[in-house]
A and B are shown apart, each in its own frame.
Chain A
Amino acid sequence: MPAIILTPVAVQAVSGTNKLPSETIKTASAETTVATTESEDTTNKTTERQARLETLKTTFKSKIDDATKKRVALKCKPAQALVGAADKVDKANIIPRQSSYKKIVEKVQKLIDRLKADGKDTAAIEAALTTLSQKIDAFNADVTAYQQTISDLKELDCTADPAAFQAALLEARTQRETARTAAIDIRTFINSTLKTALQAVKTSLKTTKTTDTGGNQ
């Protein structure tokens, strides 16, 4: 009987934890589940990446010849490290840009709210802000696509599939240029349309003030 009574204690002492065997099994099963989920996610990501790369290879098939494949296969590994460094620089530039765009939209939106509270006409500036928000959304989408391609470019096995590396690199260059164009478009729109709308609001306020002052005199 004493041996039977001491058996659980001995088991716990041997296991070195205060968990019961059933709890240990549950914990182990949970860890296994998490590991399985992570492996499934990794598998899914790899599959999705492969699909994207196959599409890109088809798109840029005409621009990737055998000589390019051999050259890329030899030099792509150091290039991947440089792509990673460029990605860090891009993120350091893109995040503040997106924050600046957000601040501009918020600032103009507050002004619109106050103008509405004062009973002013805000149709022109509201339309300008709507267009600006759409352009910013497009820019953010371009940046997201570009960063996805850069991620594929860093992760793929360029030695085994140099055509995919070259196709992803060409796509990244295109998307980078698209993002730059979108950013320039936003700047142009702000400097032209949005500031013009703000100037119109200012003029209307001046006119209203002059009218009020004249009416009072």
Chain B
Amino acid sequence: MDDKNSPTQDKQEPEQDMVVSAEGAMSAEEHTETAQEQAAATPPQSIMDVSPPPAETAVESEPMPDLAPEPPSDEPVAAPAETPTQEAAVPSQETPVVAPQPDVIAPTGADPAPVISEAKKSSRGLMVAIAVILALVLAAIAVLVYMKSQSTTKKEASKTNTTAQTPAASPVTTTDVDTASSDVDSAISSLDENKDFSADSLSDKSLGLQ
């Protein structure tokens, strides 16, 4: 304890020097004030120690006793590294006890707020993912529609080209007439009326009616 108090005393020594240089009585009051300040500074730490920390703070506070000797605090119980800074950020001296409590409770009861924030984050992530998927789907649809329109236009263009080129490409020649005549000949020569419509198939003899 002496080793721990010595740094604080080293910090208070310049103040005592200033008080001693002005008035002796004031120096005692300043000592009391400093004591009060120390008392005001220490009670939150003591409250921190008294209040039952949650499991998380308890777990966090376990390594702190090793680090406790390093800061110039009087008490060995180490507070979380964040709480001293928060206390230092609160300059109020009259409400030393009330002010730290929310700061202390906030991390201890930290379950609702992070859960809500995580839920918000996850919902935002879902929204972003849905938006991205919708954008991709719309883009794919647009590409498909564009491809289809291009293919149909190409087909129509090719059709119009073929219909336009067919009559202009081939004037009728004697060869075309010969070809048509030979096609007609081959078609009609492959048929045999006497065989296809022979009278024998329906005769009394073939039907067994004699």
A residues in contact (CB < 8 Å) with B: 71-72, 75-76, 78-79, 82-83, 86, 89-90, 93-94, 97, 100, 103-104, 107-108, 110-111, 114-115, 117-118, 120, 169, 172-173, 176-177, 179-180, 183-184, 186-187, 190-191, 194-195, 198-199, 201-202, 205-206, 209
Interface residues as binary, B44-71 with A (CB distance below 8 Å gives 1, 0 otherwise) = 0000000000000000000000000000
- By a CB distance below 8 angstroms, the chain B residues around A173 are 199, 202
Q: Is the CB of B202 within 8 A of A107?
A: no
Q: Is the CB of A83 within 8 A of B202?
A: yes
Cα distance A121–B208 when bound, in Å?
A: 57
Q: Is B187 an interface residue (CB 8 A)?
A: yes
Cα distance A100–B189 when bound, in Å?
A: 10
Given the known inter-chain contacts A100-B187, A184-B193, please indicate yes or no for A205 contacting B199, CB distance below 8 A: no
B residues in contact (CB < 8 Å) with A: 167, 170-174, 176-178, 180-181, 183-185, 187-188, 190-191, 193-197, 199, 201-202, 206-209
Can you name 19 extra interface pairs (CB under 8 A) apart from A83-B207, A169-B202, A198-B180?
Answer: A83-B202, A100-B190, A100-B191, A104-B188, A107-B180, A110-B180, A111-B180, A114-B170, A115-B172, A118-B171, A172-B202, A176-B199, A183-B191, A184-B193, A187-B188, A195-B184, A202-B178, A202-B181, A209-B174
Q: Is the CB of B172 within 8 A of A205?
A: yes
Given the known inter-chain contacts A100-B187, A169-B202, A180-B196, please indicate yes or no for A108 contacting B180, CB distance below 8 A: yes
Q: Is the CB of A183 within 8 A of B197?
A: yes
Q: Which of A71, A108, A114 contacts B209 (CB 8 A)?
A: A71
Q: Is the CB of A86 within 8 A of B202?
A: yes
What are 30 residue pairs bridging A and B, where the CB atoms are less than 8 Å apart in the complex? A75-B209, A78-B208, A79-B207, A83-B202, A90-B197, A100-B190, A100-B191, A103-B187, A104-B184, A104-B188, A107-B183, A107-B184, A108-B184, A111-B176, A111-B177, A111-B180, A114-B170, A120-B172, A169-B202, A173-B202, A176-B202, A177-B197, A180-B194, A183-B197, A187-B188, A187-B193, A199-B181, A202-B177, A202-B178, A205-B173
Q: Is the CB of B184 within 8 A of A194?
A: yes
- By a CB distance below 8 angstroms, the chain B residues around A120 are 172
- By a CB distance below 8 angstroms, the chain A residues around B190 are 100
Q: Is the CB of A180 within 8 A of B197?
A: yes
- By a CB distance below 8 angstroms, the chain B residues around A114 are 167, 170-172, 176
| Minimum CB distance partner of B206 in chain A | A82
Cα distance A6–B190 when bound, in Å?
A: 74
- By a CB distance below 8 angstroms, the chain B residues around A103 are 183, 187
Q: Which 5 A-B pairs have the closest CB atoms?
A: A180-B197, A93-B196, A79-B207, A183-B193, A202-B177
| Minimum CB distance partner of B201 in chain A | A86
Quote the shortest CB–CB distance from B189 to chain A (angstroms).
9
Cα distance A79–B210 when bound, in Å?
A: 11
Q: Is the CB of A198 within 8 A of B184?
A: yes
- By a CB distance below 8 angstroms, the chain A residues around B184 are 104, 107-108, 190, 194-195, 198
- By a CB distance below 8 angstroms, the chain A residues around B181 are 195, 198-199, 202
For B167, B187, B199, which residue has the most chain A Cβ atoms within 10 angstroms? B187
| Minimum CB distance partner of A187 in chain B | B188
Given the known inter-chain contacts A104-B184, A120-B172, A169-B202, please indicate yes or no for A82 contacting B193, CB distance below 8 A: no
Q: Is the CB of A79 within 8 A of B196?
A: no
- By a CB distance below 8 angstroms, the chain B residues around A115 are 172
Given the known inter-chain contacts A111-B176, A115-B172, A177-B199, please indicate yes or no for A100 contacting B209, CB distance below 8 A: no
Cα distance A64–B190 when bound, in Å?
A: 39
- By a CB distance below 8 angstroms, the chain B residues around A205 are 172-174, 177
